[in-house]
Amino acid sequence: MSAFASLVEGLAELLEPLFQASAAAAAIVLFTALVRLLVHPLSRASARGQRARAALQPQIAALRKKHGKNPEKLQKAVLELHAKEKVSPLSGCLPSLFQLPAFFLLYHLFSNSQIGGEANSLLAHQLFAAPLGGRWADALGDGGVLGGAGLVYLALFVIVAAVATFNYRRTKRMMAASAPVAAGGGDQGAQQVPGLGAITKVMPLMSFLTLFTVAVVPLAAALYVVTSTTWSAIERAVLYRDMPGAAPAAAVLG
């Protein structure tokens, strides 16, 4: 934890001439960008895996038609198909999983008053009028929604809502394009896969969970989430631009 705190402090010192009092916040944005650059090869691999899974959809649809009344046999057959074609059904989760340690490091770093037995100096840093260790509830209690800290959160919520709306529309289009094949064709295919209809309705809304995350975590961790989800939206738009039937990845960390 101390080494990570030193890294953030070092980045803040480098950025201080440009960002002044908000240098630590800029350091967190830069740190997030560096993490996303490191994870980018996994994102590209995930896109390749998605293309491979999309190519299997006609065979999976045939398996659903054949084993639609036996969910256990259907699941086994689908897993065997993925193994035979050397396609991992979970590869799309890897970019999000590899980001979790960085997110939790920031969360704990800005949630503790002490680091290595000494006062946590990072808690003195701010993004404009909002302390990086504070939460939205603190901002509401100190000036309200239109107070200095409240306006910072309002700006973050606007960004998150815009990104979530973009993801929502894109996810709806992708799922509409993939549903006829993935479900085995129309309502009949949906009935052959228990829970598919519910998942189809809920999945496009997952991006909006980021609003809740930003509201309850320390501002430093919220900055990581906002930067990462914005990066993810742009990255997926580029990597999946030729895949209208691609399924979306996890929404909270991208």
Q: In the chain, what are the domain boundaries?
A: 2-239
Q: Token digits for 169?
A: 């529309």
Q: Token digits for 214?
A: 């930003």
Residue whose tokens read 């320390």: 218
Handedness of CA 151, 29, 254, 217 (dihedral sign): negative
Q: What is the pLDDT of residues 133-145, one digit of tens each?
A: 999 999 999 999 9
Q: What is the pLDDT along the chain (254 residues), one digit of tens a residue?
A: 688 899 999 999 999 999 999 999 999 999 999 999 999 998 888 887 777 777 777 888 888 888 877 888 888 888 887 777 777 666 667 778 888 999 999 999 999 998 888 899 999 999 999 999 999 999 999 999 999 999 999 999 999 999 999 988 887 776 666 655 444 444 444 334 444 455 556 666 777 889 999 999 999 999 999 999 999 999 988 888 776 544 444 445 66
What is the pLDDT, as a whole number, of residue 90? 62
Q: Token digits for 51?
A: 């293309």
What is the pLDDT, as a whole number, of residue 179? 55
Q: Token digits for 252?
A: 């909270």
What is the pLDDT, as a whole number, of residue 202? 65
What is the pLDDT, as a whole number, of residue 203? 62
Do 133 and 122 meet the contact criterion of CB atoms below 8 Å apart? yes
Q: How far apart are CA 153 and CA 112, in angstroms?
A: 21
Nearest-5° Cα angle at 147, 146 to 153:
75
What is the pLDDT, as a whole number, of residue 81? 79
What is the pLDDT, as a whole number, of residue 72? 83
Distant-in-sequence contacts of 37-42, Cβ < 8 A, 24+ apart: 39/95, 39/98, 39/99, 40/235, 42/94, 42/95, 42/98
Q: How far apart are CA 152 and CA 155, in angstroms?
A: 5
Task: Tell me if residue 118 falls in helix, strand or coil.
Answer: strand
What is the pLDDT, as a whole number, of residue 11? 94
